[in-house]
Structure 1
Amino acid sequence: MDWIAVFTSLEAVCEENITALSGPPDLPYGDASRRLVTCMRKIQDHGRALEPVVSGITAVYHHYDFDSDTPGNGYRTLVKVLQSCLLHIIHKGRYIASNCHGAFFRADHNASEMEAYGSVLCQLRALLYIAQGMLHDNCPGQLYGEQDGELSRRLVREYASMHKACFYGRCLGFQFSSSLRPILQSLIISMVSFGESYEKQHSGLGMAAFSLLTSGKYVIDPELRGEEYERITQNLDMKFWKSFWNLTESELVSGFASLTSTLVQVNLTLTIPPEPLLLPLVSDPRLSAPVSPPVAHWGPGPVNMRLISYELREGQDSKELLAFSRTEAPPISLSLVPFGAQKRPPSPWLLIHFHGGGFVSQTSKSHENYLKSWSKDLNVPILSVDYSLAPEAPFPRALEECFYAYCWALKNCHLLGSTAERVCLAGDSAGGNLCITVSMRAIACGVRIPDGIMAAYPATLLTIDASPSRLLTSFDLLLPLGVLSKCINAYTGVDSETVQPTEGTSTLSALGRDTASLISDLTHGASKWIQSFFPAEVLGSWSSSHRRSLDNEAHQRSVSPCSSDSSSGPRDYPEGFEPRRSERLSVIQTPSCPTVKNPFVSPLLASDDLLRGLPHVHLVASALDALLDDSVTFAKKLRDMGQPVTLRVVEDLPHGFLSLSGFAEEIKVASDICVERIREVFQQQTLPSCTRK
């Protein structure tokens, strides 16, 4: 990207608009014209101030990549997000300059839109100043600074007071491709509608009806949507997030997904009783290592799993396996087995999967859409583990259950349609963390380790430590800092509500399954129905009553981001600049429990001795993910130890993109990359000591 050309174009567009819209008082659209001129002058000031900042960051950000073939780190991402914002402003500015005197020019709408992007640019300028401070304070090449350092405290303070609604209103998803924005907009509208009805404690059909009625206003009024999203991400409790994300478990949503997903012959849910296992020691197979069932917090308990297989294989319909089945419907789809066909022999491969969801939500059912596709593409049986969720089951319960499931699968692979000659662990986000920590535990116990790991956007550092990509939590759609801290606190036991789970309890703990189905369906339907009546510009212009202009004194009040206990150092921002501030302050409970630094919670903090011996680790990260630096730093750590590791950074996708499989071509491409990495684990016979590509 030629940044000189970008800033030159921005300057030219601003001047062109100021000239075109400045004129006598009787100029058409007088008030809107004045607003646009004011806004363009502020954008011009932001651009002039940002040019040297961007120049300084781009001059050195390649030093923070994993290697020269893998461009990707939080500094690059922040600059890329700024680029997206500036290109939107330039495109819109050219349109305004060319059409502002036309008969059909919607002055109010265009002024509101330009003001919204001006607000975003102001906030991005603040984040880039913080990133500039990280470059100065951190060691060269290091994305994370000193543990519990001032930069991390500053990140929390800034998030608590910084105005964030502008990122979720008119500019929602501006940093993503045009094919992803409608999906993300529907998701955010559903979330804020659900949040409003959740707070009013509606139940049953009342909640569904309320969500239907409220969703429309968030389509018509993007500013109101942004304000509501900022509010719920700051104030709603963990039960809300568990309830919302578990909507993917509803019969309607899962039923719709199944219509577009790959048909498989085996989709079997299992409940494995808590019985001790014996596995051979790697050092001396004549000896055995005992493996205890999970016991943390409430004693021994069963482990739930799901077996998915594109083809029916020997062992998968055995009485021994079906005795563990907890599926009410027939687990083997005989209608999908060709007439007269025999069961396929066991596969030499086995894929064991741990799902994402921040350790607090979702199950294998939420992820079965892409797992079915993987089973077909790889022609391999997949065992996905439904580990217990926080805060009811904090660390180490999930790790114990996943490790027990892994050991049980090795011992009983013949029931799963596999000989387990090669075993790969795969997971996303929290599941990626569990892939790594289960392997670490296998090393510690002396039993067989998997032949490889594919971890998609894994959480390897469960702290609020600052890095350039963690700055994205100030406006991330799926992982804002308030939500990230709640998930970390829940998993590490700060917000523990440990109870003995009830057998057969639905994952929709706060909602009836039918209610959740209606909410999801009606909210989406209402949004589409309302949008169908009005063109986009009309919808936008109706929201002016809730517009927050750049001149709004309530948001421009001077609130110092540094409290009195800040270290003595240079001013946080240049003289005369202050980001917009929110009327509501977030309360972020910074994870301070010692558990966050346990290497089996944050593998990035593990010693070399604990990580040495890991199998080949394949990391697939996203450039627009707030956890990008987790993957880059962990990959560097393994590489520097001589451990085999690869890192692939995909573009333009949010955290959790695998859960959105089927909605966009970019997600399909990224999912295929994950499949190829898993295939490498299965097909590669000898591994080099270190792979950088």
Structure 2
Amino acid sequence: MRADSDMDFKVVFAALETVCEDNISALCGPSDLPYGRVVKRLVTCMKQIQEHGRALEPVVASFTTVFHHYDFDAQTPGNGYRTLVKVLLSCILHIIHKGRYISSNYQSAFFRAEHNASEMEAYCSALCQLRALIYLAKQLLNDNDYGELYSLQDGDLSRKFVQEYSSMHKACFYGRCLGFQFSPTLRPFLQTVVISMVSYGETYGKQQSGLGMAALSLLTSGKYVIDPELRGAEFERITQNLDLQFWKSFWNLTESGLITGFNRIASTPVQVNFTLTLPPVTLHLPLASDPSLSAAVSPPLAHSGPGPVHMRLISYELREGQDSQELLSFSRTDPPPITASHLPWVQKQPRSPWLLIHFHGGGFVAQTSKSHENYLRSWSKVMNVPILSVDYSLSPEAPFPRALEECFYAYCWALKNCHLLGSTAERVCLAGDSAGGNLCITVSMKAISCGIRVPDGIMAAYPATLLTTDASASRLLTLIDPLLPLGVLTKCLNAYAGAESLTMQPAVASGSLSALGRDTAMLLSDLTQGASNWIQSFLGPMQTTGGARSLSSAHTTSPSNNAHRTISQTSPPNSGTDNDYPDGFEPLRSECLAFIRPTTCPIIRNPFLSPLLAPNNLLKGLPPVHIVASALDALLDDSVMFAKKLRDMGQPVTLSVVEDLPHGFLSLSQLTKETDVAAEMCVERMMEVFQQEDPTPALHKRPKHKETYP
């Protein structure tokens, strides 16, 4: 049985009621079970689950009658309300499966009572918190305008969302229940990432060399495999309150050997792959409306003045121009790139009529093209197209609009110098994921504003189009998402907006990427591989030992009433916890409070930063925009609302929604069949751009020959 949001939810709730009754009857009946205390825990837990299920069914019923009004269209079912119901049903299906096992096997001599009780209690906690999210989503549904997924003018709703995140218990979603909502094939990977992160976080900031920090991480990671509750609690602490420098250094480990060893083996080999540095000189490009006139494009200037722009050129085949001395003069690779003169047996191909310009994701604060090289190599082969990926400057050291300026400058340079990149640029497509998707859209907006040629199309994967903490149903997922928690998301958004620049500490030896070095990266690579192996060996037998701490106290004490009293005393009054939940219900509260800085900086609503807020005249003239989103992504509603806005303006746009995958699925391509299928969908959309008929709007017209570029 799948947890689809449009499945017959009544069947699921009926099965849940039956499972609860079967377990309560069996465990409360006369027996000589040797584990009486555990039986009481299970009975208490099943009664709580039963109460949650009975309360949730009518709320879910009200959602299913209206959530189709919030879809992009009838052929594209997807929005945050559907997703919350889908996640809730997925949790219930796990409970049903586990409950059936318990009722059938509790009298067996091999029944692992402690383990099964802990598992059921963990999912009971998750169900309780999901119930809270459903109630919050119902408030959004009632308060938002018809068909609108965001309440952009309602500060109270957004404050309530942030306050609930700050105090709600979230550790249950990072322990035994980790990744239950995603594709089963991704769960071992998510567990590996979380174990690596909490191990790294435990030693982060201590006075250790990079090597020492990695060694400590390796020594401490084992306990997080064996003890899921400990792992969940530590991950909650990390995601809520560790500083931005931690996230930058951890995410950047993908560039220093943590994953590159695997990529070297798994990636598609290409004949061209080297980096370029463009000097900061003014460019002149023809106006789209009158090629006899030109527009001057200044080099990036914001914050630090004129500076170079870094890029990476990837091409499956060596093409004309790619080994020219003119291009190689921009190379910053040491040793120099291998050219046709080094490989006389390589046949140089003619220039491609296509060019793909790529902007990477990473929350505007981390990673480079190297982190995304795995799928870029594959794209270059599959589409037979040269790819230029821009290594824009990162926040908070270089906040908005520096990244936008650099990406726009790189785009303009590529148009002017396409002959060096192995392309005639008859078709130019912009592609990017997450933050990169945002930059694809805003670069095109800037091209429209400057009057120069716009790209022929955009492929934006799960783009961030609203860089605020405004509440939506899908953004409620940041309370349970291991890859995009709200505490991390707001740090990234504030950093790009410039709100983190004054408080950001410079990179220090213990936390910076440069301090890690090659040996550290290799050791951390071993750590990750070891964690993965442990997961495979421990998840079956070791989770059954009962050695992990029980969550029973969280249920018998009405999860930390003392903690809740402390929260009430130290936080502003929260109407969400006092009045907005039904009588008798209160979500579990955390003893580890999150301190979230809302995105209140006025610049956050700049249309070149949050394109969902752009006036129509800035979006009119955009090329076809192809958005590929995930149903389980906290930014899903960003994609749906932006696609709706473009469609309502008469702009060409498509929206595709893939199932069961997290935010950032492109970086997970080749890990599972599901991520491969999603990546192939992105390729199909880019091929539509390259193979489309000649666009008709005037701004899409471009000169046919290089010499028309002055």
1:293 to 285, 295, 299: 299
SS at match of 1:179: helix
Shift of 1:496: 1.0
**Partner letter of residue 671 of structure 1?**
A
1:520 to 507, 519, 524: 524
Distance 1:334 1:28, change over 3 A: farther
Percent identity reads 68
Q: Matched residues in 1 for 2:256 and 2:341: separation?
A: 25
- 2:443 alignment partner in structure 1: 438
2:399 to 369, 389, 394: 394
SS at match of 1:458: coil
- Residue by residue over 1:599-628, the C-alpha shift from the partner in whole angstroms, topping out at 9 and shown as x without a partner, is 000000000011000000000000000000
Contact preservation (8 Å) 2:160, 2:576: no
Distance 1:547 1:518, change over 3 A: farther
1:239 aligns with 2:242: no
1:133 aligns with 2:139: yes
TM-score normalised to the size of structure 1? 0.95
- 2:42 alignment partner in structure 1: 36
Shift of 1:516: 4.2
- 2:701 alignment partner in structure 1: none
- 2:459 alignment partner in structure 1: 454
1:571 aligns with 2:575: no
- 1:266 alignment partner in structure 2: 272
Shift of 1:255: 2.9
- 1:80 alignment partner in structure 2: 86
SS at match of 2:515: coil
Indicate the larger mover: 12-21 or 533-542.
533-542
- Residue by residue over 1:119-167, the C-alpha shift from the partner in whole angstroms, topping out at 9 and shown as x without a partner, is 0000000000011111111111100013352111110000000000000
SS at match of 2:185: coil
Indicate the larger mover: 466-475 or 514-523.
514-523
Distance 1:461 1:497, change over 3 A: same
Q: Matched residues in 2 for 1:448 and 1:49: separation?
A: 56
Q: Matched residues in 2 for 1:214 and 1:581: separation?
A: 27
- Residue by residue over 1:239-272, the C-alpha shift from the partner in whole angstroms, topping out at 9 and shown as x without a partner, is 0000000011013521321210100000010001
1:536 to 536, 540, 552: 540
Distance 1:417 1:84, change over 3 A: same
- 2:182 alignment partner in structure 1: 176
After TM superposition, the structure 1 = structure 2 runs for residues 281-680 of structure 1, keeping only pairs within 5 Å, are: 281-332=287-338, 340-496=345-501, 509=513, 511-531=515-535, 534=538, 536-545=540-549, 547=551, 549=553, 550-557=555-562, 558=564, 571-680=579-688
**Partner letter of residue 513 of structure 1?**
G
SS at match of 1:349: strand
Shift of 1:464: 0.2
Shift of 1:283: 1.5
2:13 to 7, 11, 20: 7
Q: Matched residues in 1 for 2:267 and 2:335: separation?
A: 18
Contact preservation (8 Å) 2:252, 2:366: yes
SS at match of 2:455: coil
Contact preservation (8 Å) 1:345, 1:417: yes
Q: Matched residues in 2 for 1:376 and 1:131: separation?
A: 43
- Residue by residue over 1:513-560, the C-alpha shift from the partner in whole angstroms, topping out at 9 and shown as x without a partner, is 325413431322332454566462433534433645422455345568
Indicate the larger mover: 529-538 or 67-76.
529-538
1:154 to 148, 153, 160: 160
- 2:170 alignment partner in structure 1: 164
TM-score normalised to the size of structure 2? 0.93
Contact preservation (8 Å) 1:349, 1:420: yes
Q: Matched residues in 1 for 2:173 and 2:547: separation?
A: 16
Distance 1:254 1:401, change over 3 A: same
Distance 1:581 1:566, change over 3 A: closer
Distance 1:11 1:553, change over 3 A: closer
- Residue by residue over 1:421-470, the C-alpha shift from the partner in whole angstroms, topping out at 9 and shown as x without a partner, is 11000000000000000000000001110000000000000000000000
**Partner letter of residue 145 of structure 2?**
C
- 1:253 alignment partner in structure 2: 259
Residue segments in structure 2 that go unaligned for 5+ positions in a row = 1-6, 698-710
**Partner letter of residue 183 of structure 1?**
F
Contact preservation (8 Å) 2:360, 2:389: yes
Q: Matched residues in 1 for 2:521 and 2:577: separation?
A: 53
- 2:702 alignment partner in structure 1: none
SS at match of 1:251: coil
Distance 1:208 1:340, change over 3 A: closer
**Partner letter of residue 606 of structure 1?**
A
Distance 1:18 1:687, change over 3 A: farther
1:102 to 101, 108, 131: 108
Indicate the larger mover: 678-687 or 541-550.
541-550
Contact preservation (8 Å) 1:394, 1:498: no
- Residue by residue over 1:377-416, the C-alpha shift from the partner in whole angstroms, topping out at 9 and shown as x without a partner, is 1100000000000000000000000000000000000000
- Residue by residue over 1:493-519, the C-alpha shift from the partner in whole angstroms, topping out at 9 and shown as x without a partner, is 0011599x99xx9x9546323254134
Distance 1:543 1:494, change over 3 A: farther
**Partner letter of residue 682 of structure 1?**
F
SS at match of 2:314: strand
Shift of 1:335: 11
Q: Matched residues in 1 for 2:26 and 2:552: separation?
A: 24
Contact preservation (8 Å) 2:456, 2:689: yes
Shift of 1:29: 1.4
Contact preservation (8 Å) 2:429, 2:458: yes
Q: Matched residues in 2 for 1:540 and 1:201: separation?
A: 37
Q: CA RMSD in A?
A: 2.3
Contact preservation (8 Å) 1:354, 1:432: yes
Shift of 1:177: 1.5
Distance 1:350 1:195, change over 3 A: same
- 2:705 alignment partner in structure 1: none
1:216 to 202, 222, 230: 222
- 2:689 alignment partner in structure 1: 681
Indicate the larger mover: 627-636 or 339-348.
339-348
Distance 1:412 1:333, change over 3 A: closer
Q: Matched residues in 2 for 1:335 and 1:50: separation?
A: 69
Residue segments in structure 1 that go unaligned for 5+ positions in a row = none
Distance 1:528 1:366, change over 3 A: closer
Distance 1:336 1:649, change over 3 A: farther
SS at match of 1:307: strand
Shift of 1:685: 1.0
SS at match of 1:156: helix
Contact preservation (8 Å) 2:80, 2:474: yes
Count of residue correspondences: 684
Shift of 1:23: 3.3
Shift of 1:673: 0.4
Contact preservation (8 Å) 1:274, 1:294: yes
Shift of 1:200: 2.5
Distance 1:533 1:62, change over 3 A: closer
1:70 to 68, 76, 82: 76
Shift of 1:33: 0.8
SS at match of 2:399: coil
- Residue by residue over 1:78-101, the C-alpha shift from the partner in whole angstroms, topping out at 9 and shown as x without a partner, is 000001100000000000000000
Q: Matched residues in 1 for 2:568 and 2:670: separation?
A: 42
